[in-house]
Structure 1
Amino acid sequence: MRAFALDAFGAAPALTDLPAPTITAQAVAARHPKGITGLIDLASQDAETFTGLTALLADGARAATTLGVADPAVLAERGITATNIFATPDAALLARVAQHAEQGVLVPRIERTFRLEEIGEALTTISEGHVRGKLAVTFA
């Protein structure tokens, strides 16, 4: 599990001072015994892991996952709003995203740029779990 910089949206990460591999549900629970108010899970590998993470949520919290494993009806019993996030390729939506980027509304945070011959280092950087922005690869 990784903590991302969402402070621009008013969010406060549950844990930021631990290396990514040591951030566990137990570590979050120890620091936030009353629960956390939001969960954006982009890293769990299965439904069981996501379900375990939702146990950390305080009543009335929000949860989102890209795995499609959230059960909104079950979580609603605790007042938790759950969302399964899916990506659907859509030319009109992509054009809108491009327009927002051109207008400066959408500004990606590029943490580091790699040359194509450094792609191995880029993959290592991702796997170490310390990336806080986007990694870009240049083709020259």
Structure 2
Amino acid sequence: MRAVGVTEFGGPEALHVVDVPPEPLGPGQVRLRVQAAAISPTDTHLRSGAYAGRDPVKTPPWVPGMDVAGVVTEVGEGVDHLTVRDTAMGIVLPFGSHGAYREDKVLPGDSVVRAPEGADAVAACTLPMNGLTARLALDLIGLSAGQVLAVTGAAGAFGGYVVQLAKADGLTVVADASEADEQLVRDLGADVVVRRGDDVADRVREHFPDGVDGLADGSVQDALVLPAVKDGGAVATVRGYRGDGQRGLRVHPTLVRRVAEDRPALDRLRRQAEEGVLTLRVARTFPAEEAAEAHRVLERGGVRGRLVLTF
């Protein structure tokens, strides 16, 4: 079974095609013939060995990837929401050789739903991980319609979904952007756009002097952005930051593994993509054999939309 992974942790050049055994299918599981796998910063961290200490598998190869889409080829006992030949998308929690960068993937049935109508596998694979993370972030922040949410990293995949989902929830959104990305972020639905940077909290306060009700920190600025939020407000972070304990701020690390088998949430994202609430953004595709170059492109920065490996 062909996959793309590493046998030694390192830079992008460590990625290469590897042979892995097929995964057995059990009750409640789904097998996909993978057509596309999206690339995320989490994949580059796995490739470099940042997560080696927490991986239960200590022998190579290690296969990255958290987003996958393709054709259902087999369903286990108890799976009734998918049938063979459906185009489907799913979220993967990678360990050992069991990441998304492989041509055949078995997943829990509750981690897989049909692809949005009209979307091919390349577009569909951009939604599960970032979409579920964005939805979880908003649920943790817990704002009500009419309240104000700030979003950093709004031009990115996670931040863009937060903006669109927040608007669908009836929130007022203030988001950051570079000059080049300002129109993109406005098109995503932001009500107010401020210039990105280390002083983004000050720029948010210029528009909302009392501070915003909540903030989703997609740019991973951690303590730098906390001053944008009013006392007692809520913050969602994406790399484990837990705040400084001051001003009664409620800081929520957003760990997508908590919702990796929340099929209703994933299916709701599918429907919102079909309704045009969410935009599936593909920046560029690469054959799986060119995964190293795809990682180089991602790590150079400035990518808008998702890079996708095709199988």
TM-score (norm 2): 0.32
Match of 2:295 among 117, 120, 123: 123
Q: Does 1:54 align with 2:226?
A: yes
Name 2:154's counterpart in structure 1.
Answer: 3
Structure 2 counterpart SS, 1:3: coil
Q: Does 1:113 align with 2:279?
A: no
Higher strand content, 1 or 2: 2
Deviation of residue 131 (structure 1)?
2.6
Name 1:25's counterpart in structure 2.
Answer: 198
Unpaired runs of 5+ residues, structure 1, are none
Higher helix content, 1 or 2: 1
Unpaired runs of 5+ residues, structure 2, are 1-151, 168-172, 182-194
Deviation of residue 97 (structure 1)?
5.3
Separation in structure 2 between the aligned mates of residue 58 and residue 90 of structure 1, nearest angstrom: 26
Tell me the alpha carbon deviations over residues 61-102 of structure 1, each in whole angstroms, 9 at most, x when there is no partner: 5421022222385342xxx44322113266742x4455446x
8 Å Cα contact 1:72/1:83 also seen in 2: no
Q: Which has the larger radius of gyration?
A: 2
Structure 2 counterpart SS, 1:64: strand
8 Å Cα contact 1:113/1:138 also seen in 2: yes
Deviation of residue 13 (structure 1)?
2.0
Question: Structure 2 vs 1, CA of residues 128 and 50 (structure 1 numbering), >3 Å: closer, same or farther?
Answer: same
8 Å Cα contact 1:3/1:15 also seen in 2: yes
Structural RMSD (CA): 3.6
Question: Structure 2 vs 1, CA of residues 117 and 97 (structure 1 numbering), >3 Å: closer, same or farther?
Answer: farther
Deviation of residue 18 (structure 1)?
5.6
Separation in structure 1 between the aligned mates of residue 222 and residue 303 of structure 2, nearest angstrom: 21
Deviation of residue 122 (structure 1)?
2.1
Separation in structure 2 between the aligned mates of residue 89 and residue 32 of structure 1, nearest angstrom: 30
> Map of 1:72-83 to 2, 5 A cutoff?
74-76=246-248, 80-83=249-252
Q: What amino acid does structure 1 have at the position aligned with 2:280?
A: R
Structure 2 counterpart SS, 1:132: coil
Deviation of residue 53 (structure 1)?
2.1
Name 2:253's counterpart in structure 1.
Answer: 84
Q: What amino acid does structure 2 have at the position aligned with 1:104?
A: R
